[in-house]
Each structure stands twice: as C-alpha cells, then as structure tokens.
Amino acid sequence: MLRMARQQLPPWVHAAFLLWLLSLGGAIEIPMDLSQPPTITKQSVKDHIVDPRDNILIECEAKGNPAPSFHWTRNSRFFNIAKDPRVSMRRRSGTLVIDFRSGGRPEEYEGEYQCFARNKFGTALSNRIRLQVSKSPLWPKENLDPVVVQEGAPLTLQCNPPPGLPSPVIFWMSSSMEPIAQDKRVSQGHHGDLYFSNVVLQDMQTDYSCNARFHFTHTIQQKNPFTLKVLTNHPYNDSSLRNHPDMYSARGVAERTPSFMYPQGTASSQMVLRGMDLLLECIASGVPTPDIAWYKKGGDLPSHKAKFENFNKALRITNVSEEDSGEYFCLASNKMGSIRHTISVRVKAAPYWLDEPKNLILAPGEDGRLVCRANGNPKPTVEWMVNGEPLQSAPPNPNREVAGDTIIFRDTQISSRAVYQCNTSNEHGYLLANAFVSVLDVPPRMLSPRNQLIRVILYNRTRLDCPFFGSPIPTLRWFKNGQGSNLDGGNYHVYENGSLEIKMIRKEDQGIYTCVATNILGKAENQVRLEVKDPTRIYQMPEDQVAKKGTTVQLPCRVKHDPSLKLTVHWLKDDEPLYVGNRMKKEDDSLTIFGVAERDQGSYTCIASTELDKDLAKAYLTVLGRPDRPRDLELTDLAERSVRLTWTPGDDNNSPITDYVVQFEEDQFQPGVWHDHSKFPGSVNSAVLQLSPYVNYQFRVIAVNEVGSSHPSLPSERYRTSGAPPESNPTDVKGEGTRKNNMEITWTPMNATSAFGPNLRYIVKWRRRETRDTWNNVTVWGSRYVVGQTPVYVPYEIRVQAENDFGKGPEPETIIGYSGEDYPRAAPTDVKIRVLNSTAISLQWNRVYSDTVQGHLREYRAYYWRESSLLKNLWVSQKRQQASFPGDRLRGVVGRLFPFSNYKLEMVVVNGRGDGPRSETKEYTTPEGVPSAPRRFRVRQPNLETINLEWDHPEHPNGILIGYTLKYVAFNGTKVGKQIAENFSPNQTKFTVQRADPVSRYRFTLSARTQVGNGEAVTEESPAPPNEAYTNNQADIATQGWFIGLMCAIALLVLILLIVCFIKRSRGGKYPVREKKDVPLGPEDPKEDDGSFDYSDEDNKPLQGSQTSLDGTIKQQESDDSLVDYGEGGEGQFNEDGSFIGQYTVKKDKEETEGNESSEATSPVNAIYSLA
C-alpha cells in the first residue's frame, strides 16, 4: 500500500506566487523624504461593533510629507474632539480613543464616523465607519405550560432569543445541562427552533431549554425549559416493542406522508450577496421520519463548494457567485410518499473593484489618468471627489478632464497636486478609494542597500530586486558582470518596478548583476551578487507502513543538500510538530518509534530545510490493534429454544475482524462464569442462538482479528427459557472400591445447559452382577455415592439417571463396577532363574489361583538386589531394584545387571491394593563381562620427540583385568599412517611414544580387557605441533647477532641485581615475597611475623624435581606424574600449536612469584638507585 511520498507544493504557494508577480507591476512608491500628499495606511472596519465594557477605539493612521493632521466627522458633521473630555486622539495619529473610566454610556457615541488626513498637498479620507455597541439583552421571564402532543405528531419548540448585536449562538440543552441528542428526527433549525419530525414516548424523559451565547460578553442566557406530555395508545415502554422492526405500527402510531415544517408551502425565495454563504434549509415531518435530498433545476449542485449539514436538512454553498442563482428544490420522502419544496435563489452584489485607482506620479508637463471601475448588482454609481470635496464644487482646472469613471490629466503642473477620492455605491454597499496626483522633478535614486548578496537554489525561479525612484519615471536596464547587452527576454524578464526575474536558475547564472536607472535628470546604479546553491532533496523517503501494536517502526529520511548551507531536519505528525518522547528516537536520517501504540497512527512528514529551500516527504503509519468491543447488544425473535442476538461492531483498528465469539453466563449453577456458546464469521453482526431449557441466559460478544481479541462487550439483557425433563444422563459413571468392603459410585455432574429444570438430582441404582438381585436405588444431589458392606472384589451393575422437577431423563446405560480389593493371599511358586549373559537373566514361575488375588491382577513383580562382587575388596550397593511384568504372565527377563556379581531375588503378585506375600528368595551369579572404559586418559607432549600417555583403571572392571590394549596411528591432514597396537599388563597406566617426525599428529584408542574380551574404548588425539618455520629457526637462533646482544644485556642486568641483593643481605634487609594471604606456607619456608622471609640461598633453589633452563623456565625432570596432580596445573598447559607453556607449579604460587618480580628488590632501576 505504497503511495507517492514526495509532497507537491500546496495550492496556496502557487497563489502567493501569482500575487507576487502581480505586485511587480504595481505603482512605484515615493520615498518618504520627498514631499507627497497623505495616504491612509490603517483604519477600522466599516461595521465596527465594540464591547460596552471597554474603551472605544476607532483607528485611523496615515503617512505623508509633511506629516498629515487629522480631524473627524460624526454623522457627516464636524466632530469637535476638544469639547468632549472623554474623547482624545493619539499622538501622530488620527486614532480616536473614547474613555469611560470616569463614567458615561457607550451607546451615546454610536453613529457614522469618517477620518480626514490633511497636509498642504491634499486630503485623504477613511471609509465611513459605523460604530455600534454590542448588546446582550436579558431573556424575558415567562412561565411555560407543559406541551401536550400526541405520539407520532410533529412538534416545533420555538426559541425566540432576544435580539443581540451580534446575533447570539443558539443551542438546546436540558435543565441539567445535558445536550439534547439530535438526529434526522430531532434537530435544531438555522433560526434556533427545535423541530421534532415525529414525537415518540421517550421524548418525555427530559426537558428542553434554549440557550443563547453572546460573543462579546461571553455570557450564556437560558430560557425556561419546555416539558413534554406525550399522549400514547401504548402507555408502557416495552423493550420488546423498542426492538420491533416496525416500531410505529407496533405502538399504534399511524404512518403518514411527509409535510414541510420549514419553510411553509411548496415554494419560497431567497436573496444572497455575492461572496457570502448561501444556506438553504428544509425540515419535514412524517411517520416514519422522512429523508431529505437536494437538487438544482437545470444543473448539478456545485460539488466543490456545496456541503450538506444538519442531517441533510440544510444545503450550504460557500462564496456564492452569479452562476449560483437559480431554482433549488428539496425532496422529503418516506415509505408513505414524498413532497417537494422549491427555493428560488437570487444573487445580488455589493460593489467590487474591476480597476481600483492608483497613485499617479508625474513630472511637470506629463500626461496621466486615474481610473475607477467597479461592478455590482445593481450597477453601482461612481462619484469623484478631490481632497474630500465633490469634484464639481472644486476650483476649475483646465488640465483636468472627467470622463465618467476616468479623470484625464494633460500637461500637468506643480499646482495639480491633490488627493482624489472615488466613491462607488449601490443599495448593498459602497467602496471608497484614495489616489493622489503628485508632480515631482527628481533624478534617479536607488532605494535598496548597495552590493547585496542573493543566494538562490539551482533550477528555481527567482528575482533580483532593484527598487528605484525618479520623476520622470526612469528606465531601468540590467547587466551581468559589468558587460554585455541589456538583460531582457529569454530566461530574463524585467518588471515595471525594476525587478529582474530569472525564470530558471542555472550554474552559469552565478555572478554580479548591475541595474542602471536613467531619466532626463541623470542616472543611478546598484549591484547584486548572485550565488547558486544545490537544492535540498530527500533521496530516501519514508514509505507507508503497517505495524502491529507494540512493534518497532523506522521511517528513513536521507537528505542531500548544499554543504555550504546549514541543514535542519524536523518531523510533523498529522501536520503538527512532532513531540519526540521516550519511545521515539530522532536521528539525522531516520525516525524510530519503539513500542508502537494506537496514538502513533497518522501521517508523518519529514521536512529537510536550509535557509534557502526545503524538501518534504510524507508517509502514513497504520497501526494494527485489537478490535474495539462490540456494543448495543439486542435480543429479538425470542422463542422457546432460540433467540436472535444482534450487535454493533466496534472499530477494527485497521485489522479486519475475522470472528465473533458469543459467550453466555447463567446465574444458577455457575453465576459470574462465562462460557463459549458459538463462533461466527467477522462479516455478520446478527445470529440465531440455540438455547437449552431452563437457563437464565445473559450474552456477550468478543471480536477477534489478526492482532488479538477485543474486550468483551457489555452483557445483554437476561432471557430465561422454559424448563423440560433432562434429555441426557451424567457421563463417566464408575464403580470402584476405596476400601476392601465398599464401592464408590462416581459420575461427572451435568452443567447448567443440560439440567433443563430446577432441582437437578440423580437416581443411583446398583445390584450384584452374578446374583441378579433386585435393584437398590437412592436419590443423590451430588456426584458420588458409597455402597457399604460389600464382599471383596465382586462385580456390580450400576445405573445413574438424571431427574429434575419436570421429570426423569432417558433410561441410563448399565455400567459394570467392582467393590474394593484386598491384598493378594498367595505368592508365585516354582520360580526358576536362567542366566542369559553377564547382564541379564530369564525368569519363569507358576500362576497363582484367581481367588487368592482378591482383586484385579495388575502385574507380577520381581525384587532383586546385588549382594556382592566376585572381585575382592570391591564395595557394592545393595539397594533393592524391581522389574514389573504386567498382566497374567508366566515368564520375563531382568536386564541391566552387573557382571561378575552375586544377586538375590524374590517375587510377588500385585493388585490394586498392593503387594502380596513374597516368594522364597532365589540366588544367582552373573558371569564375567567386558570392562568399562579406562578413566582419565591423558595425552601429554613435553617436547617434539615424545608423547606421554597416562590413564586410570576402569570404574567397573566387570571381571578380572588381564591387561590393556592401545592402538595408535599417525596422521597429517588427509594422510594416515600404519596402525600400531600395544598390549600392557593390568598394572601399567603409563606409556611413552617416540615421535617419528615433529609434524604429524597421533590418534590413540585405549581399552581394558578381561578373559571375555576388550571393553569400551576411549579415544584421544595429540596436540597440534608448532609450525615448521618456528622449528627451523630453533636450530640457528643462537648464531644470530641480535640474540647474542640480548643475552649480554640480560647477563649485565643479572649481575647488577646480584650486587644489590648482596648489599641488602649485608644490611639485614627483608623481602616480602607474598602478600598476607590464606595460602599455606611450606614447612621449609622460614617466616617472620610480618609475612616476610629472610633472604638466603634457599630462596633461589628450584622446586624439587625440576631444573632451571637457560631462559629461566622450569622443565620437567624425569617425572611421569600428571599435571593435574599438582592442583590447577592441568589448565592451559598447551598453546594453540601444541607447544608446552605450563610449569609444574601451583597457580597461587605462580601469582605470588609474579608479585615478587614487580617488587622493589627485583627492579634493576631501583637497584641502581639503591647503590647511590
């Protein structure tokens, strides 16, 4: 579900660009340091409504040189500000301030105001500002009688709010401030009245109060509430009728065709002004409630600006234009018929500009014109004024000619300077525009700073501004890099105001641009330096993703930009700035969301921007969640054994609902426990449920989708079915003895849906199977019954039948049960043993008589134990073991015995109660077997010539050992040598192999043997040998010069160390050779109380049984003992290539020795200092 991620520029950007292009051709402004007539720059709106609690402010600001002075008229008469202490004018402004802090009534100042800004060159006028004070009158108190209405009749509750300024906002609520729910049957009209298309009985459950909210005072006024009294033919609010598919006829309400409540009749007309919104409204009554549809005669509704409101009862068309006039009609229809109302729409227009007059700047002797064109409906009239006075009453000017909406100036002179007003009006409004005529003699001048730097983005459209002024208006030309012809045409375009537009920037457009303005009085120039930058582009955009709730999502946003510009990347969510919380991680090129939640769903926009441009890309994240719970459960089609359940699905949270699970709960057997009833596809929302008799059902529904299950819906109403006799009996009926003289009858009790009636109970019957006696019976309320005083292990016939207050269930099946068992009375006889091999024997015995079993014969069981081994001084465990032979068998095999051992064995009979008496004890002996594998087989490689092997005796000899067999073979990669076999005496546990070459490895296989044969073998391989280059270098390293120099340096250091040691000894110095640890000291270590040792020659002696080599390492000297025997010496004894790196020392002693080597006494540098 990928979509195009790169976002196009919104329409408003294009509109703004068009406005900018239009502004380039606008009038040239006069610099403020030159003389000029006044220009109005700010003024209040024409209809100025003020808050009576605040001071009144009427704005009027203007510019001019010299600065203009201001005065006002009120209701077309001069307004003398000096005579009213409450009124003042702001300094350097014409804005009026009317202060009521010292008292006064704002209503006294209502009227029409106009501002005049004047200097010696003319007078400019503001609009006529109509000042009104906001009003929020109180609602008149009234006592309202209850409104009596027949069920199904239409009703209008009138609001009639007090007239306010501006008009209040109307809404309806109950007296308890609960909003009145509105739908296509009950809704509020545009004028504030509340309409009921038809009244139902539930409308009496609340009252109705109209509320008016006033804008300026921020107050809400409430009308006394209406109460309704609904007359009905069906006074009871029966829930079953509410669910009836035809509620009106079920309640005795007559159905009728629609009729219009507003507007009245079949036709009406409406006028709207151009640019305003048109609101058409049709509200109809009828039973059932009518539907409303809208049409336009002779055409379609304008889809781009038409929308339906108030449940299709209102049609709104925004920004009306002349083509929206015509006939519209609304159609109200229900199943009884339809009715139509036609609305004739006329579009009028207040004046709007076609050509607004603009300031005219002329040089002496030049010609010019002012144009004032406007349109409207009806056609507006045009009136010209000069300096605020009607043009016809102004002094004559031979250089001026008025031609309707145009004033023409010829051979203009300095005396022609003035401000002209154009007033165009019709019955719907007016437009007032000021435009001055200024006559100047000014050489060209530049109005912007010199040598500006402009940076632009490659391939963009841009403009270089060169604001200038002069009179006569100068001509302007552009040049690039100070040479070439005038830039205009092709990729360049020069506008009236001097701006140079470059339609598409290229790299070669970079450079210095010069603009030159010229008129008859001189010339002026300015320069602009243009730099072209690479655009910012998102080259790896985020894509739409669908994620399950709780997962992690990453949205990439990789950007390429001009390195000379600073890049900023930020994210929006749903077009609002994204708050990056603890669950989010924002990086330069991505956004990661951990543990996605439902609130994370939405559109994500990556915006990469520099100070010159930006690029954006958008993706939508869809979060899959568990569905919302179903709601609005309803029970309909109520029958004795079925009901229809209908529900409204909840939101599927973007993952389609696959199933609905209907559960039920009953309040008799397991109240509060919910059971699954049935399952339905996710495409349905209504199902018929099959029910059991006499169950007080309550239902709920669970929705299931791919993500999981919803919360259960709220329970439905309860529905109890009528009772009936049981249709089944309890299951899993059993009869078993718990003692030797009883029988316990048990069964699985029936649940609520199979009880079918009240007081469920069970009729239990039993009798001896052999004797066929009469049935014994008892009524039981639980799920077990114990029959006492029974013979030992006899069969019984058993029946269990369900019964409730409506009757008995069907005839039950007969089940065979047995009374309790007793211990067997006899043991197996004539037990015979035959030895099969060294680990197994065969057993055979005679069957016991069935009457001695006294129960169900489960198995024959042999108990056996190892009495001793045939090997002297070998301890054995005499723990008893057992072998079972299920059923009535006469022979069996006992395995997993130890060879070369003495065993004893007894046999018993086993039933459900336990073991019977034991048979006589039998003895037997297992023969010799093969031994287990030798223990702890070790392979050691002390040098390149020999390999040492060591092992321990087998854990289980299983006979008399007569020796060991060793087989070994040399191999190098895929090459394998000839296998060699060696036999050893039973006491030998070591062997040394002489290597044939230093490269090959060896594989050893060792086994022990008895007279029976070889036992289990163990296999080990020798370590990998060192590489060949290392071996070759061993022979001639002593002849290398660097080695000889190194040895000399070591000898010198040793000599210095010996000197230091002798000096220390002569001074009685002590050397700490180990920390105070818990490591025990050897008996030969002469120790002091502080843990130090006197230095003596004994300290330099090597370990017994070792010798010191040239490089100081300790080597083995004719010892065959295992390294493991020395504590931890077995760990890490060989490096990766098999070379020996260990020492026959205990690990802790090694650490202590290393500690001594770092002490002060053994440091050569410290030794030198000690000599000084």
- Residue 1067 three-state SS: coil
- Residue 733 three-state SS: strand
pLDDT over 90 at 68, yes or no: yes
1042 and 1156 housed in the same domain:
yes
917 and 947 housed in the same domain:
no
pLDDT for 979 equals 92
pLDDT over 50 at 787, yes or no: yes
Read off the pLDDT band of 1141 (50, 70, 90). very low
Lowest mean pLDDT among 55-69, 119-133, 388-402, 950-964: 388-402
655 and 698 housed in the same domain:
yes
Last residue of a domain, one of 818, 850, 881: 818
341 and 424 housed in the same domain:
no
pLDDT over 90 at 663, yes or no: yes
Tokens of 455: 């940076």
1165 and 1046 housed in the same domain:
yes
Lowest mean pLDDT among 211-220, 912-921, 1151-1160: 1151-1160
Give the integer Cα–Cα distance in Å for 1103 and 1087.
18
**Buried b / exposed e across 398-424, counting CB within 10 Å, b at 16+?**
eebeeeebbbebeebeeebbbbbbbbb
434 and 450 housed in the same domain:
no
> How far from 698 is each of 180, 663, 721, CA to CA, in Å?
32, 8, 11
The answer as to whether 15 is a domain residue is no
pLDDT over 60 at 1079, yes or no: no
The answer as to whether 282 is a domain residue is yes
652 and 713 housed in the same domain:
yes
Mean pLDDT of the chain: 85
pLDDT over 50 at 1168, yes or no: no
558 and 610 housed in the same domain:
yes
Q: Domains in the chain: how many in total? A: 11
Percent of the chain clearing pLDDT 90 (strictly above): 68
Instruction: Quote the Cα angle for 807-808-810, to 5°.
Output: 140
Give the integer Cα–Cα distance in Å for 1137 and 1153.
27
Q: Average the pLDDT over 1090-1100 and give the result.
A: 36
Higher pLDDT, 113 or 669: 113
pLDDT digits (tens, 9 = 90+) for 401-458: 998 899 999 988 888 899 999 999 999 999 999 999 999 999 999 999 999 999 999 9
122 and 154 housed in the same domain:
no
pLDDT digits (tens, 9 = 90+) for 490-546: 889 988 888 999 999 999 999 999 999 999 999 999 999 999 999 999 999 999 999
Read off the pLDDT band of 143 (50, 70, 90). confident
Q: Average the pLDDT over 911-923 and give the result.
A: 94
> How far from 938 is each of 153, 935, 992, CA to CA, in Å?
107, 9, 12
Tokens of 527: 């320069």
435 and 448 housed in the same domain:
no
Instruction: Quote the Cα angle for 42-46-48, to 5°.
Output: 95
1019 and 1044 housed in the same domain:
no
pLDDT over 50 at 1156, yes or no: no
Lowest mean pLDDT among 200-214, 645-659, 1149-1163: 1149-1163
Do 228 and 206 contact (CB within 8 A), yes or no? Answer: no
Q: Average the pLDDT over 601-615 and give the result.
A: 95
Read off the pLDDT band of 180 (50, 70, 90). very high
pLDDT over 70 at 1152, yes or no: no
Higher pLDDT, 18 or 223: 223
Do 734 and 746 contact (CB within 8 A), yes or no? Answer: yes
Give the integer Cα–Cα distance in Å for 890 and 843.
8
pLDDT for 469 equals 92
The answer as to whether 494 is a domain residue is yes
pLDDT for 995 equals 87
CA torsion, points 6, 11, 17, 22, in degrees to nearest 10? 160
Q: Average the pLDDT over 730-751 and give the result.
A: 94
Last residue of a domain, one of 533, 556, 575: 533
The answer as to whether 302 is a domain residue is yes
pLDDT over 90 at 752, yes or no: no
CA torsion, points 323, 327, 328, 332, in degrees to nearest 10? -170
pLDDT for 484 equals 66
pLDDT over 80 at 741, yes or no: yes
The answer as to whether 31 is a domain residue is no
Residues with Cβ < 8 Å from 967, sequence gap 6 or more?
A: 979, 980, 981, 982, 1004, 1005, 1006
CATH code of 875's domain: 2.60.40.10
CB-facing half-sphere around the CA of 797: CA atoms within 13 A:
13
Q: Average the pLDDT over 624-639 and give the result.
A: 93
Instruction: Quote the Cα angle for 718-720-721, to 5°.
Output: 145
pLDDT over 60 at 2, yes or no: no
Higher pLDDT, 591 or 1063: 591
pTM of the entire predicted model: 0.53
> Sign of torsion, CA 227 232 237 239?
negative
Give the integer Cα–Cα distance in Å for 703 and 679.
10
The answer as to whether 239 is a domain residue is no
**Buried b / exposed e across 457-482, counting CB within 10 Å, b at 16+?**
bbeeebbbbbbbbbbbbbebbbbbee
Q: Which residue range is the domain that position 292 belongs to?
A: 254-349
The answer as to whether 28 is a domain residue is no
Last residue of a domain, one of 68, 101, 133: 133
Q: Average the pLDDT over 730-744 and give the result.
A: 94
The answer as to whether 62 is a domain residue is yes
Residues with Cβ < 8 Å from 705, sequence gap 6 or more?
A: 624, 626, 627, 652, 653, 655, 656, 657, 658, 682
Beta strands in 552-693 (DSSP E): 553-556, 558-560, 568-573, 576-577, 584-586, 590-593, 602-609, 614-624, 631-636, 642-648, 657-665, 675-681, 686-690
- C-alpha of 828 from chain center: 74
pLDDT for 498 equals 83
Read off the pLDDT band of 396 (50, 70, 90). confident
Instruction: Quote the Cα angle for 70-74-76, to 5°.
Output: 100
Lowest mean pLDDT among 73-82, 844-853, 1081-1090: 1081-1090
pLDDT over 70 at 1099, yes or no: no
pLDDT over 80 at 1025, yes or no: no
Element (H, E) at 901: strand 901-910
pLDDT over 90 at 1113, yes or no: no
pLDDT over 60 at 1129, yes or no: no
Read off the pLDDT band of 770 (50, 70, 90). confident
pLDDT for 15 equals 36
pLDDT over 80 at 1155, yes or no: no
276 and 328 housed in the same domain:
yes
